[in-house]
Amino acid sequence: MADTTPPPLLTVRDLGVTFPTPRGPVRAVDSLSFDVPHGRTLGIVGESGSGKSVTSLAVMGLHTGAEVTGSVALDGRELVGLPDRELNRLRGRRMAMIFQDPLSSLHPYHTVGEQIAEHHRVHFGTRRAAARARAIEALAEVGIPEPKRRAGAYPHQFSGGMRQRVMIAMALVCEPDLLIADEPTTALDVTVQAQILDLLARLQQERRLSVVMITHDLGVVARVAHEVLVMYGGRAVEQAPVDALFAAPAHPYTRGLLDSLPRLDDPDDVPLRAIPGTPPSLLDPAPGCAFAPRCARAAAGTPEERNRCADERPVLTGRDGRTAACHFAALPAVAHEGTAP
């Protein structure tokens, strides 16, 4: 039977981002490849400094002063190297981003209604009254009570959770195909966090949006993602459908992340199992596996195995969206089939 699967909306191939610094080039993202199909959510996880935000900014074409290599294609159109004028047209209209801290991306002296309306006007040339009506609709869609009145309020007059809803309204008012959310709920308490994640999941389904959800929180990934990309030291170390990842993590780093999640059945006096050690230096990367110095599997290996981890960089192996970069990855022989669309 012919394969009728449509091509993915976003295709990232061999992405590299290098920052020149006084101490030498910092390779923040290296050899990164992933797809985001239409109507699906990719969760990108990894600890602080693993390259999640640098990746999302590279997709949006927002890196200035960095060397970006490889390919980022949106609906088949190459974005790396596109002039700023063309990128500006795509940003907001075809792809939008939600940042962790809404106050840094909302203007303090303009009402939220004006800001959302202006965004619509810029991209569609909408007349003022129509843009204003569209802004009020967008606020209603994200669950802002009394949207007509609240459109006239300033960002500081909203609570953190409401501001994050405003950001989502702003990101979605131009009906983009791709939404990148970089830690959108980290600053919120757990109840509000759950509401925002549910809102994003609902909008994603209704609009068949493609979403990249960036987080260091595996609980967030479990709640919203279809596929997961685990990053370590600027590289992908594991890629898997979400249920396969939680059922059987293949990479020791992913296993460490899962083990460090608090569990309800833990006795009160058991300390959380953090992964020992610190993230790798990106200035002077080791020749072998970046995770090896912290890896329980490497430490338990024979001297030959330990040498291999220290000297030989593992490449991603596996198939059907289930891959891991570890010489001793515990990959299942048959690909998991539970999450096909």
Ligand X SMILES: Nc1ncnc2c1ncn2[C@@H]1O[C@H](COP(=O)(O)OP(=O)(O)OP(=O)(O)O)[C@@H](O)[C@H]1O
- Rule CB under 6 A: which residues touch ligand X? 19, 21, 26, 28, 46, 48-54, 216, 282
Nearest distance, CB of residue 205 and Mg ion, angstroms: 26
DSSP state of 291: T
Please enumerate in sequence order all residues whose Cβ is within 8 A of that of 179, keeping only pairs 6 or more positions apart, or say none.
Answer: 95, 96, 97, 98, 171, 172, 200, 204, 209, 210, 211, 212
Binding partner at 21 among ligand X, Mg ion, none, C-beta below 5 to 8 Å by kind? ligand X
Pairing of the two strands 77-78 and 95-98: unpaired
Sheet containing 227-232: give its strands across.
95-98, 178-182, 210-215, 41-45, 227-232, 235-241, 322-324, 317-319
Nearest distance, CB of residue 45 and ligand X, angstroms: 9
DSSP state of 143: T
Give the number of other CB atoms < 10 A from CB of residue 312.
13
Nearest distance, CB of residue 44 and Mg ion, angstroms: 10
Nearest distance, CB of residue 19 and Mg ion, angstroms: 14
Nearest distance, CB of residue 62 and ligand X, angstroms: 11
53 binds Mg ion (CB under 5 A): yes
Question: What secondary structure does DSSP assign to 260-271, as a single string?
Answer: TS--TTS-TTPP
Which CB sits closer to ligand X, 56 or 204?
56
Report how many residues bind Mg ion under the rule CB under 5 A: 1
Show the binding pattern over residues 288-317: x = contacts Mg ion (CB under 5 A), - = does not: ------------------------------
End-to-end CA distance of the chain: 17
Which CB sits closer to ligand X, 216 or 313?
216
Binding partner at 246 among ligand X, Mg ion, none, C-beta below 5 to 8 Å by kind? none
Q: Which two tokens stand for residue 103?
A: 């106050």
Which CB sits closer to ligand X, 57 or 197?
57
Q: Where do contacts with Mg ion occur on this chain (CB under 5 A)?
A: 53
